[in-house]
Amino acid sequence: MLGLAILLLSCSQLASQIFLPALPQIAESLALSATQSQAMITGYFMFLGISQLVVGPLRDKFGDRPVFFIGQSIFILGTLLCAVSTSAALFSLGRILQGVGAASPLLISRTLLVATLSGAQLKMAMAKLALVSSCVAVFAPLIGGTLSSLVSWQFLAWVLAAYFGFTAIVGWWILPTDPHVPTIRSVRPKYLLQQYWLMLQEGQFLAIAAFKWLPTFLYLTTQLYFPFLLQQYFQLTEQQFGMVMMLPMSGLLIGAFISKCLHKTMNELALFAFFWPLLIISAMCYSLLPFSLFNALLGYGFIMVVFGGYFAAYMQLLGVHYAAQAGSANALVGAVELLGFTLLAVGCNAYLIHSLNDLAWITMLAAALLLFAWLKLLPQRVFFNDVFQHIARKVVGNRE
């Protein structure tokens, strides 16, 4: 099942990132402005976020197999429309259908392992999934850039459609065919909204989700700010900027690899605590070190290490605590992440961030919120009992 989960997760990642290097080619071919071509990318994320709110409960109600097949079919149809597009309208429709269809493989990739594995096997599988996901995130733009320099962007879309079709065949063959036991009573909009609202009122849910939302927010905020900062101050071309950004992005791989190694001996809360200080170090790189290309990339690199390190632990915690509502819980986290925190990152860049020092304060604020979330998840009774026992041993030792 791990191999299938990797295939499913890679589908949404490739669709979102492999077109990025080909944006100038797409804009020229379809007579788009730079803003319009960027909207084709952000529109994909918007519809992916919205569609997750529907696909997640459908998965909980009807199971993986039918939801995957319908969603992947829409995904492939959207990709084919992109491949044959001769106008902006047709390409936009293709991207919308891609966003709607991508929710299915994305959500099922995150719930499949929880439904089929447990214990140490689940922890290791989640760590491996996070590691491969980081690899795809780092190398997808490089693959897209290499292919787009050799072939047209339409051919790139045909390649994606073939890959998605292969994944559909593998998924239909491997996904369980046993009768699904519904874990949600209804998929009516009113009922779903009530369930989502109840989740958003749970402190435990918000605390777990924070370890996905806040690293994503820091990643998006920095990704939006750095092109203007670094290209302006260091006169980098687009190609040079793309190459130097590979350095901090490799932090995803480093964080996921470290997390995979530590999963054998640490639980999820310990992993959260292990990576957390890197956020403080990142803020210090921005605010205390002299402004240079190396120091700016170093600070961003630490954030990406945290991002990669938290991914598997977050999926594990959410899957264990919300196993009966795995689809709905993952859908809500993903929707808030793609809709709410994307807009928040855009707003911060528009109104709050004017220097690296501003980015440092935002990083510190995110670190403080994550510390609060960690304390919320911490079994306080056990924690304070351990502290009390430690103090008692010290007192007894001093008396003796």
If pLDDT is split at 50, 70 and 90, which confidence band does 343 have?
A: confident
* Sole residue written with tokens 């045909």: 158
188-379: CATH class:
mainly alpha
Query: pTM here?
Result: 0.81
More confident: 187 or 300: 300
Of 115-124, 188-197, 379-388, which has the strongest mean pLDDT?
188-197
For the stretch 130-139, pLDDT in tens is 888 878 877 7
Higher pLDDT, 140 or 388: 140
pLDDT for 327: 84
pLDDT given at position 14: 87
Position 34 pLDDT exceeds 70: no
Q: If pLDDT is split at 50, 70 and 90, which confidence band does 168 have?
A: very high
Residue 399 has pLDDT above 70, yes or no: no
Same fold: 1-186 with 188-379: yes
pLDDT value at 117 more than 80: no
Q: Any idea where the domains of the chain sit in the sequence?
A: 1-186, 188-379
Can you give the pLDDT at residue 384? 43
pLDDT at 397: 57
Neighbour count for residue 210 (Cβ, 10 Å): 23
Q: What is the CATH number of domain 1-186?
A: 1.20.1250.20
Instruction: Please tell me the predicted confidence (pLDDT) of residue 113.
Output: 82
Please, what's the b/e burial string for 76-106 (b: 16 or more CB within 10 A of its CB; e: otherwise)? bbbbbbbbebeebeebbbbbbbbbbbbbbbb
pLDDT number for residue 398: 55
CA dihedral 71, 4, 326, 215 (to 10 degrees): -100
- What integer pLDDT is reported at residue 392 of this predicted model? 52
What are the pLDDT digits (tens) for 377-393? Answer: 987 544 444 444 555 55
Q: What is the pLDDT of residue 364?
A: 97
Q: Which residue has the higher pLDDT, 130 or 57?
A: 57
pLDDT mean over 223-239: 75
Where does the pLDDT of residue 242 fall: very low under 50, low under 70, confident under 90, or very high at 90 and above? low
The mean per-residue pLDDT over the stretch 224-252 comes to 77
Lowest mean pLDDT segment, chosen from 65-79, 174-188, 240-254, 283-297 = 174-188
Confidence of residue 98 (pLDDT cuts 50, 70, 90): very high
pLDDT over 70 (residue 396): no
Task: Give the model's pLDDT for residue 383.
Answer: 45
> In this predicted structure, what is the pLDDT of residue 36?
72
